[in-house]
Amino acid sequence: DAGVIQSPRHEVTEMGQEVTLRCKPISGHNSLFWYRQTMMRGLELLIYFNNNVPIDDSGMPEDRFSAKMPNASFSTLKIQPSEPRDSAVYFCASSTGRNQPQHFGDGTRLSIL
């Protein structure tokens, strides 16, 4: 079975550029989560979708960050404009419900120069 698929695996871009990260959740999972992982802060929840609707975006750090889920099989996390402090590994996870085990993708390693 295919797991959670994220693209790109690596992204290097210059400060000020727009960055779009993509996620395909596991088929049949109706909950989707975006996380950010850094050495300093660990793994932090950015936003949670249930049935394609954003339920909790309290972890989104700034208005520069936005996330969408146009359908059950695709989600994007966008940063515009990007800043060096946004450099981190961004993970997408999906599950069959918010309190069910989450399955993570392999992440996008983002470097903002």
Partner 1 sequence: QKEVEQDPGPLSVPEGAIVSLNCTYSNSAFQYFMWYRQYSRKGPELLMYTYSSGNKEDGRFTAQVDKSSKYISLFIRDSQPSDSATYLCASRGRDDKIIFGKGTRLHILP
Nearest to 28 by CA among 110, 103, 105: 103
Q: Which stretch binds partner 1 (CB under 8 A): 14-22, 38-46, 69-77, 79-87?
A: 38-46
Name which position in 13, 20, 22, 56 contacts partner 1 (CB under 8 A): 56
Name which position in 66, 74, 76, 104 contacts partner 1 (CB under 8 A): 104
Q: What is the CA radius of gyration of the chain?
A: 13
Residues 6 or more apart from 48 whose CB is under 8 A from it? 31, 32, 33, 54, 55, 56, 57, 98
Asked if residue 8 has a cis previous peptide bond (ω within 30° of 0), the answer is: yes
Name which position in 46, 67, 93, 110 contacts partner 1 (CB under 8 A): 93
When asked if residue 108 is in the footprint of partner 1 (CB under 8 A), the reply is no
When asked if residue 53 is in the footprint of partner 1 (CB under 8 A), the reply is no
Residues of this chain that bind partner 1 (CB under 8 A): 4, 39, 41-45, 56, 91, 93, 98-99, 101-107, 109
